[in-house]
Amino acid sequence: MKLNKILFSGAILGLLSVLMAAYVDHSVSLVRTGKSLDRVLIAIRYHQLYAIVITIMGLIFPLQTDRRIKSWLIKSAYFFISGILLFSFSIYISSITGIFALLHLVPIGGLIFMIGWVGLICVACLRMK
């Protein structure tokens, strides 16, 4: 049986989002200022949202018979995975380590999220044909 990489990634990212939320909730050392806490909470929110989206995509893409639709779903999922890594994880790491230069990756992650949504728009347009 072949591993569904997208479903697997969504599940791992979902688990990591819960672990990160628990860490933030129970650890004072992560939160240095109110602004830092706000950033981390936004990162967790996006992390959890996109983990759910990726998981749903992982459940749906094997059911697709159209090769083009399947391809766009896979591409979009990988954009969302990359967006989480650049957006959320750069915020997490900068908050934990104090290396605030990593926050320059946040807008790139946001842009990659948008590209993933454009991929899903392409799927919707292919479905209309």
Q: What is the pLDDT at residue 33? A: 67
Per-residue pLDDT of the chain (129 residues; tens, 9 = 90+): 789 999 999 999 999 999 999 988 887 655 566 788 889 999 999 999 999 999 999 999 899 999 999 999 999 999 999 999 999 999 999 988 889 999 999 999 999 999 999 999 999 998 665
Q: What is the pLDDT at residue 30? A: 58
Q: What is the pLDDT at residue 26? A: 82
Q: What is the pLDDT at residue 29? A: 58
Q: What is the pLDDT at residue 34? A: 79
Question: Which is nearest to 96 in space by CA: 24, 4, 38?
Answer: 24
Question: Which is nearest to 71 in space by CA: 84, 61, 59, 63?
Answer: 61
* Measured distance CA(59)–CA(88) in Å, rounded: 23
Q: In angstroms, what is the C-alpha Rg of the chain?
A: 16
Q: What is the pLDDT at residue 27? A: 78
Burial 52-77 (b: 16+ CB within 10 A, else e): ebbbebbebbeebeeeebbbbbbbbb
Neighbours of 47 (CB within 10 A): 25
Q: What is the pLDDT at residue 11? A: 97
**What's this model's pTM, rounded to 2 decimal places?**
0.91
